[in-house]
Amino acid sequence: MARYIFITGGVVSSLGKGLASAALGAALQARGYKVRLRKLDPYLNVDPGTMSPYQHGECYVTDDGAETDLDLGHYERFTGRSANKQDNITTGRIYQEIIAKERRGDYLGGTVQVIPHVTDAIKNFVLDGNEGYDFVLCEIGGTVGDIEGLPFFEAIRQLGNELPRGQAVYIHLTLLPYIASAGEMKTKPTQHSVKELRSIGIQPDILMVRCDRQIPENERRKLSQFCNVRPEAVIPAYDAKSIYEVPLAYHKEGLDEQVLDAFDITGSPSADLSRWEKIVDGLHNPEGEVTIAIVGKYTVLKDAYKSLIEALVHGGLANSVKVNLKWLESEAFEGQDPASVLENVNGILVPGGFGERGAEGKIAAAKYARENNIPYFGICFGMQMAVVEAARNLAGLSAASSSEFGGEGEPVVGLMTEWAKGNAKEVREATGDLGGTMRLGAYDARLKEGSKIAEIYGTCDISERHRHRYEVNIAYREQLENAGMVFSGTSPDGVLPETVEIPSHPWFIGVQYHPELKSRPFEPHPLFSAFVGAARNNSRLV
């Protein structure tokens, strides 16, 4: 039977609960246990699909087409287990399902209430489908005391009583700030956070404290006494240079040992963290470095590109180089020559995005990369803008554009209204809802034999995750290929372009899907490995 670990947070948000959960999962895996990680988000959105990246960072997409919290990306990268739509739930989704049941009459005339109906729905989500797992780690979003989080805290409190004795452990992550003017660390924020948690009826078994320096023994003892946690169960969570150091750091501080002790598990295999040590060694001892320009529209918030950043790190590991990122707002390129900011980079990457804002800047970046033989990687919107650029400047279609920007010009990129998914047909309307209506999740693609991208993958049949509602128009294929841009990959039925490349260019590839979502530190995605390798070999700078 699975054991349950509930991870909560206090004092402030963004302390790293998701990373802590992923790192603990990795440490337990290193001892031979099978783990599953799940995220409970208290916000009222059904999922993050309609939320701006400025609001919630990256929207992570699973193979089965769920739009989820970015923490699920951490879970996948650290454990290697592919998440699915049953690993992330929100208040909005819970209420949506409960109200649908009430409208059908499933409650037989009963009054629908937060307790027991909402809390029961949360508990059912937590407990469902965990056969075969040793540990299920459940992260509760937000911080203790948030109004919207109360049903979730109540649900996990109830589970602590309803599960067999010794089957649930609570970990609370808080902040231990250093006050420079006083010259000391202050435990009061953590004390108050734990007091709030205990007032709900939850006593943490383990306390993780985020801090930027060693915790004096006196403060550690004070935390133990005031928070009713054993001294050895007060685990420092120090800042790290790389997120991939965190499993090693937590193991060193005894986190996984304390978890097993809280479950009264003895005789557990020792942790084999050698592969994490290898990753960290590769990060700290590169043989060189490259600079990649990321020309995007959400660059002021790096969490909007979380998986992309990590995939580039993985590509650097595969090539034994450090990847330096040069963040460039695409709007800054509009109406001016991008040479001044792009002439000293080894590669240019244009990521996904939505809407017309910054589009012309991305087109300018693609043009500069094409004309100057700089390795170019266009992802989703980045591929579409590369195609628009080629249509305008190579194929002579000066009015080439996307129907996303309005009805004028040549619709080289257009809105999808139907497409094949397996043996079924998916149909959408331009005036329909935005949430959950894109081409989402893993789709198969067929690569052209002999193409550069097929050589990179080592196969002509691939499956990658998508998140978009506009596609390159296959009707322009002949004109573009005659001009030098090859459609090197399509959907199996040949209708939807999946990849493009310019054979005469050292490395110019665009993909409609999001390969960054499937990259892992132990298994770097082949496209990111190849792109960083091409950047390393960029003859302009070596």
Which residues is 179 bridged to in the sheet?
184
Task: Give yes or no for a contact between 35 and 79, defined as CB atoms under 8 angstroms apart.
Answer: yes
Domain boundaries, the chain: 3-278, 286-536
Task: Give yes or no for a contact between 28 and 288, defined as CB atoms under 8 angstroms apart.
Answer: no
Q: What is the pTM of this model?
A: 0.92
pLDDT at residue 359 in the model:
85
pLDDT at residue 50 in the model:
75
pLDDT at residue 538 in the model:
81
Task: Give yes or no for a contact between 253 and 235, defined as CB atoms under 8 angstroms apart.
Answer: yes
List CB contacts of 487: < 8 A, sequence separation 6 or more: 448, 474, 477, 480, 481, 497, 499, 500
From the candidates 380, 410, 466, 505, give the one annotated as an active-site residue.
380
- Cα separation, 261 vs 255, in Å, equals 10
- Residue 499, phi then psi, degrees to nearest 5: -145, 150
pLDDT at residue 39 in the model:
96
> Pairing mode, if any, of strands 67-68 and 424-427?
unpaired
pLDDT at residue 416 in the model:
65
List CB contacts of 495: < 8 A, sequence separation 6 or more: 419, 420, 474
Between the alpha carbon of residue 524 and those of residues 125, 372, 529, the distances in Å are 32, 27, 6
- Cα separation, 167 vs 2, in Å, equals 8
- Cα separation, 435 vs 65, in Å, equals 12
pLDDT at residue 336 in the model:
78
Domain 286-536 CATH (choose: 3.40.50.1220, 3.40.449.10, 3.20.20.70, 3.40.50.880): 3.40.50.880
- Cα separation, 220 vs 235, in Å, equals 9
Q: DSSP letters of 374-408?
A: --EEEETHHHHHHHHHHHHHTS--TTEEEGGG-S-
From the candidates 257, 360, 464, 516, give the one annotated as an active-site residue.
516
Tell me if domain 3-278 and domain 286-536 are identical in fold: yes
Tokens of 225: 């006494």
Q: Any idea which architecture 3-278 has in CATH?
A: 3-Layer(aba) Sandwich (3.40)
At 370, which amino acid appears?
R
Q: Is 380 a catalytic residue?
A: yes
Residue with tokens 């390795």: 375
3 state SS of 285: coil
- Cα separation, 308 vs 321, in Å, equals 17
3 state SS of 440: strand
Task: Give yes or no for a contact between 208 and 21, defined as CB atoms under 8 angstroms apart.
Answer: no
- Cα separation, 107 vs 117, in Å, equals 10
> Pairing mode, if any, of strands 206-211 and 288-296?
unpaired
Q: Is 154 a catalytic residue?
A: no
Sign of CA dihedral 463, 464, 470, 473: negative
Among the listed residues 16, 225, 231, 50, the one whose alpha carbon sits nearest the alpha carbon of residue 141: 16
Query: How wide is the angle at C-alpha 62 spanned by C-alphas 58 and 67, nearest 5°?
Result: 50
Sign of CA dihedral 338, 341, 344, 347: negative
Task: Give yes or no for a contact between 369 and 382, defined as CB atoms under 8 angstroms apart.
Answer: no
pLDDT at residue 244 in the model:
96
DSSP H helices, 377-505, are 381-393, 452-457, 477-483
Tokens of 139: 């992260």
Q: Is 514 a catalytic residue?
A: yes
DSSP 227: H
pLDDT at residue 465 in the model:
96
Per-residue pLDDT of the chain (542 residues; tens, 9 = 90+): 899 999 999 988 888 999 999 999 999 999 999 999 999 999 988 888 777 777 778 889 999 999 999 999 999 999 999 999 999 999 999 999 999 999 999 988 899 999 999 999 999 999 999 999 999 999 999 999 899 999 999 999 999 999 999 999 999 999 999 998 888 899 999 999 999 999 999 999 999 999 988 988 889 999 999 999 999 999 999 999 999 999 999 999 999 999 999 999 998 899 999 999 999 999 999 999 999 999 988 877 788 899 999 999 999 999 999 999 999 988 877 777 888 889 889 999 999 887 778 788 899 999 999 999 999 999 999 999 999 999 999 999 988 888 888 777 788 898 765 545 665 656 556 555 555 567 889 999 999 999 999 999 999 999 999 998 889 999 999 999 999 999 999 999 999 999 999 999 999 999 999 999 999 999 999 999 999 999 999 855 54
Q: Is 301 exposed, middle or buried (0-12, 13-18, 19+ CB in 10 A)?
A: middle
Q: DSSP letters of 66-109?
A: -EE-THHHHHHHHH-PPP-GGGEEEHHHHHHHHHHHHHHTTTTT
Listed as own residue / partner, the contacts of 459-464 with beta carbons closer than 8 Å and 24 or more positions apart are: 462/489, 464/498, 464/511, 464/513, 464/514, 464/515, 464/518
Among the listed residues 203, 253, 256, 259, the one whose alpha carbon sits nearest the alpha carbon of residue 227: 203
